[in-house]
Amino acid sequence: MTHQKENASLETVQTAVTSQKVWFITGASRGFGRVWTDAALRRGDKVAATARKLESIADLKEQYGENVLILELDVTNPEQVKATVEQAHAHFGRLDIVLNNAGYSLVGTIEEASANDIRALYETNILGPVAVIQAALPLLRKQGGGHIIGTSSNLGHVTLPVIGYYASSKWAFEAIHESLAEEVKSFGIKVTIIEPGAYATEFGSQQSLKFAQGQDIYADFKQQFFGKLMQLERGDPHATPQALFQVVDAPQPPLRFFLGSQCLPWVREAYAERLATWEAWEEVSNSAQG
């Protein structure tokens, strides 16, 4: 009986060890990145947490000790990205989950935003995550698999005025990850796009927003838009970790996953409208086939 108990205990320990995951998370200082970093560490996982300013995540080391590695990272610096991903992998010996979360929103109409505004947005929201993915892929292939997760938005399917460039970055983000999923499937690497709706995070704070230089002609329109935006019901970000864990723990995680109850109805309506338009013009479209 004692021998059986020892075997059972050993099996329990082995299961606990093999189920423990190692995360690499960008944008871990606030918003979803901070919530998910804390939650992963609390459940016993290990996390390489990154942020532009190391002092913004220094308290993680004090709280979680050896289970967390804090690293300074500007995702718009490809050389730093590569070195940081490799450092995290070498430190923990593997990376099970690579979570691209860093990003911000550009506020401004299509006419107002400058080329520099748009370029900076894409550097962070698109090229930054791509740099992380490209740095991680050789390591994930060598270790025999992994899970790449990208934080997108329900605005990766629909869009709104005034934040159209932000939405466009998420549309590109979605396409990149969908292509990636097919390209790396044979290597045992999984890909999931997390698509949150409106949440009460710091994403709407001054640190996560950049404003294009405004034009008076749009002032009334933007005032009305922001008035409607403020009325949106926002979800609790601290309610999201268990849903995220179900995705990362699933043997076959989904390519796309909505966070919150508002996303699917909005996207369902948008796609129904698109289909109706395409079908209404189907005869004309077909006539152009030749």
Give backbone dihedrals phi and psi of 250, rounded to 5 degrees, phi first: -70, 140
170 in catalytic set: yes
210 in catalytic set: no
Q: How far is the CA of 118 from the CAs of 167, 207, 212, 237, in angstroms?
A: 12, 17, 9, 28
Check 166, 168, 169, 199 and give the catalytic one: 166
Q: How far is the CA of 131 from the CAs of 85, 137, 171, in angstroms?
A: 10, 10, 18
Give the dihedral sign, CA 74/77/80/85. Answer: positive
Give backbone dihedrals phi and psi of 193, rounded to 5 degrees, phi first: -105, 120
Check 170, 190, 199, 222 and give the catalytic one: 170
82 in catalytic set: no
Task: Report the chain's C-alpha Rg in angstroms.
Answer: 21
Check 105, 152, 168, 169 and give the catalytic one: 152
Burial of 288 (0-12, 13-18, 19+ CB in 10 A): exposed
Query: In this structure, what DSSP letter does residue 126 have?
Result: I
Report, as residue numbers or ranges, the catalytic residues: 152, 166, 170
